[in-house]
Amino acid sequence: MLKAVKLYVKYVDWICLKLGRIAMYSIFLMIGVLMLDAVTRNIIHYPLSWCVEMAQFLITGYYFVGGPYSMQLGEHVRMDLIYEHLSVKNRARVDVVTSFFLLFYLGILLRGALSSTAYAIKYNEHKFSMWNPSMVPIKVLMVCAIILMLLQTISILFKDIAKAKGKNFNEL
């Protein structure tokens, strides 16, 4: 059982790391799209209707996929009024408790995302705009990112349980 947990943590962390780095560098793609929009609109005087919406989709993918990565690195927002004064073991205990609230929230979020994605697929949902892009790809990405966030939360939960017991996860 312990070997399976270690493998789970290893592979989930690896996937989150790789996808997080891809998301991190996708910001340059978004900058390129916005620069293309600025050049075509202001210099060539031929505005492209899809650039701003494509940039919105890219930034949405950026924060969807970047969420598990930032959580893995411990760079997410947290209220540190009391937390920073706790010992490592007590921080881990607090994290174990709050992880269950996060898992509950992500479960509800996943349920809504699956419903929204099924709707988008069934009715071929498009964004009401001049470009009229399909909403299916971004909604599928949303579901995948929420699943990845759930997997990463469980990975961190395993590490926090080890810390709460006073052990390093890698030494188990």
| The pLDDT of residue 159 is above 80 | yes
Q: Give the pLDDT score at 4.
A: 93
Please say whether the beta carbons of 16 and 148 come within 8 A.
Answer: yes
Percent over 90 (pLDDT), the chain: 80
Q: Residue 147: what residue type?
A: I
Q: In angstroms, rounded to a whole number, what is the distance separating the alpha carbons of residues 2 and 63?
A: 32
* Residue 109, Cβ density class (10 Å: 0-12 exposed, 13-18 middle, ≥19 buried): middle
What are the CA-CA distances from residue 36 to residues 26, 138, 157 (Å)?
15, 22, 43
Please say whether the beta carbons of 68 and 141 come within 8 A.
Answer: no
> By three-state DSSP, how is residue 84 classified?
coil
By mean pLDDT, which of 8-22, 75-89, 98-112, 134-148 is the weakest? 75-89
What are the CA-CA distances from residue 46 to residues 16, 34, 37, 158 (Å)?
39, 14, 9, 54
| The pLDDT of residue 57 is above 70 | yes
Q: Give the pLDDT score at 87.
A: 92
By mean pLDDT, which of 76-85, 93-102, 142-151 is the weakest? 76-85
* Average pLDDT over the chain, rounded to an integer: 92
Q: Pull the structure tokens for residue 36.
A: 């293309």
What is the mean pLDDT of the segment spanning 14-32? 94
Task: Tell me how many domains the chain contains.
Answer: 1
In this prediction, residue 17 has a pLDDT band, given cuts at 50, 70 and 90, of very high
In this prediction, residue 172 has a pLDDT band, given cuts at 50, 70 and 90, of low
Q: In angstroms, rounded to a whole number, what is the distance separating the alpha carbons of residues 51 and 95?
A: 41
Outline where DSSP puts E strands in the chain.
none
pTM equals: 0.89
What is the mean pLDDT of the segment spanning 48-59? 93
Q: Give the pLDDT score at 129.
A: 87
Q: Give the pLDDT score at 77.
A: 75
What is the mean pLDDT of the segment spanning 27-40? 96
Please say whether the beta carbons of 29 and 165 come within 8 A.
Answer: no
What is the mean pLDDT of the segment spanning 123-150? 94
| The pLDDT of residue 10 is above 70 | yes
Domain that holds residue 54: 2-77+85-171
What are the CA-CA distances from residue 12 to residues 39, 84, 100, 158, 172 (Å)?
41, 27, 18, 12, 18
Please say whether the beta carbons of 23 and 61 come within 8 A.
Answer: yes
What is the mean pLDDT of the segment spanning 51-63? 93
